[in-house]
A and B are shown apart, each in its own frame.
Chain A
Amino acid sequence: MLYAVLCYHDEAEVESWSAEQDQAVVAKRGAVAKDRLRPEQMGPVLRLVPTTGATTIRSSASGELVLDGPFAETKEQLLGLYVVECDALEEAIELAREMKRGEGGAFEVRPLRVFRQGMLPSDKEIG
């Protein structure tokens, strides 16, 4: 089974960390993963830019709305994610719009700050 570990935290607090504190946290987590896992057990590692960098595509009566910010409603849960490389935000929004067409919910486009490839076997599909 593949597992995703999603990191939730208070943004206002995390952004109060100094660069040194931030590095210490990241280093600590890296050390835990290194101690506990064989290299091939670690998949991609992602760090998102803060929520202020997010854009959300949501359905409305008049079609798809593109909104600033991560406005997930409490009745919506994070159910999956894609990592795509696009030349510009517009391209990523268009892609998300296409993928979402005819579905409810909301797709959030959130730039990545850190992306480490990881070692998981490719194309491991579950279910």
Chain B
Amino acid sequence: MSDAFAIANMLTGARPRAMAALLRYFRDLDLAEEAYQEACLRAVHNWPRKGPPRDPVGWLVFVGRNAAVDGLRRQTRHVALPAEDVLSDIEDHEAAVVEQMDEADYRDDILRLMFICAHPDLVAAQQVALALRIVSGLSVAEIAAAFLAKEKTIEQRITRAKRKVMAANIPFEAPDAIERAKRLSAVAAMIYLIFNEGYSASGGESHIRKSLCDEAIRLGRLLLRLFPSDPEIMGLLALMLLTHARMPARLDAAGGIILLEDQDRSLWHTGLITEGIALVEKAARHRAAGFYQLQAAIAALHASAKRAEDTDWRGIALLYERLEAVQPSPVVRLNRAVAVFKANDAETALMLLEPVEDELARYFYSHGVRGALLQELGQKDAAREAFNRAIALARTPAEARHIRERLDGLEAMAKKRKRPVSAE
């Protein structure tokens, strides 16, 4: 394995902890970022020659801190930089820094760093952009590619977000238990947002989008390491792992959507599924099922089915019912209706959908589902109308193509049935 590979990965792994500690020290996002970048430059220069330090995070924090302080001094008093030899010979100093920063410090620092990105004053797109820039260290170009936006737009989004959080005067003391719980759920939501940003692009699945999912999972793992007994964080990570595991089977060669039931399950990532199911089980022992856990449990049931027809739809319908109790929404009801259709019958499912029909009027999937249910019940005209509405609401060509196929199926079915009738 090459040095460059090892060092790049060490820097990626160390970034959140080092950035978080530097932010606590400087209390300024730009300064902390510059300090970290300078430390990385020196790491790339020094580590191949001298070997990586025992504690990369401690090294980066120490060197970053020194470099930035020197920079500040130079701006004000023009004091010369210490010789590079002195700076790189930090074995002793490093030990002291490491000793000061135990897991508890990291925990509050990283949470603060992530919380700043998940600040309630920021809109979702700003939160995600800021987190990817500050916590993950993606370049503006990479983030722009992920959002299919112009670099200039992202640059502005990040600058505005930074200005807003700095104006908000974030307290830098360790948060108390209540505040910590609030922050944790804000951060979890932000990570979930990053994941969905990468996942929901059903058209044009470019490489960077997959890496957004990878990044969200990495952040989820980091958060769970910091809060190992929080069942909802277990659930969040499990949900992302189980969803991501299906990625290789989701699209056909032409970029069309392959429905869950038609996916080649041998392409699913078994390692991620194992880990996800293990976390779902572990979380369940806490007997405090929440939003992420229930969704993860549903994904786990899908992942456990060797073939689509082995799916435990009854179990999934029950989990959706519990999910609806925790966080009622028309979309959850829609998914529940699908599960009930598979477990019981189309009529019961349609009855479940009735009270939320208006709320789901602008939602692509709901018309697709309604069409399928009506088709099942033999109400062809109503089904056709629902499918037509779905096409009108499709956001990508892949979505529209999929419904059109259903519609073709409906027509074919109608023709087949009509022919004998007209012959009579």
Contacts and interface: CB of A to CB of B under 8 A. Distances in A.
A and B found bound together? yes
Interface stretch (B22-30, B126-134, B276-284, B397-405): B276-284
Contacts of A67: 229
Contacts of A111: 274-275, 278
Interface in B215-233: 218, 221-222, 224-225, 228-229
Interface string B218-260: 1001101100110000100100000000000000000000000
A15 B17 CA distance: 15
Nearest to B8: A16
A85 B222 CA distance: 29
B13 A49 contact: no
Interface stretch (A17-25, A30-38, A95-103): A17-25
Given A53-B275, A90-B285, A15 B221 contact: yes
B258 to A, nearest CB: 20
Given A52-B279, A53-B275, A114-B271, A12 B14 contact: yes
Contacts of A24: 1
A111 B224 CA distance: 16
A124 interface: no
A46 to B, nearest CB: 12
B382 interface: no
Contact of A49 (B1, B5, B274): B274
Contacts of A12: 13-14, 17, 222, 225
A2 interface: no
Nearest to B229: A68
Contacts of B396: none
Contacts of A41: none
Contact of B282 (A21, A53, A114): A53
B9 interface: yes
Interface in B1-44: 1, 5, 9-10, 12-14, 17
A113 B9 contact: no
B214 interface: yes
Interface in A5-19: 10-18
A89 interface: yes
B271 A25 contact: no
A49 B221 contact: no
Contact of A68 (B12, B13, B228): B228
A50 interface: yes
A69 B271 CA distance: 19
Contacts of A10: 10, 13
A52 B224 contact: yes
A53 B225 contact: no
Interface in B273-320: 274-275, 278-279, 281-282, 285
A52 B234 contact: yes
B14 A89 contact: no
B278 A89 contact: yes
A61 B227 CA distance: 25
A19 B281 CA distance: 25
A113 B275 contact: yes
A49 B218 contact: no
Contact of B278 (A17, A21, A53): A53
A88 interface: yes
Contact of A11 (B225, B229, B278, B279): B225
A12 B285 CA distance: 26
Contact of B279 (A21, A53, A114): A53
A49 B275 contact: yes
Nearest to B279: A53
Interface in A71-117: 88-90, 111-114
B9 A50 contact: no
Contact of A89 (B1, B13, B237, B282): B282
A52 to B, nearest CB: 4
**Max chain B C-beta neighbours (<10 A), residue from A14, A90, A111:** A111
Nearest to B214: A18
Nearest to A89: B281
7 contacts: A21-B5, A24-B1, A25-B1, A67-B229, A69-B229, A89-B281, A113-B275
Shortest beta-carbon contacts, A-B, top 6: A69-B228, A12-B13, A13-B13, A111-B278, A16-B12, A89-B281
Given A16-B218, A111-B274, A113-B275, 4 more contacts: A15-B221, A21-B5, A88-B281, A90-B281
Interface of A: 10-18, 21, 24-25, 28, 47, 49-53, 55, 66-69, 88-90, 111-114
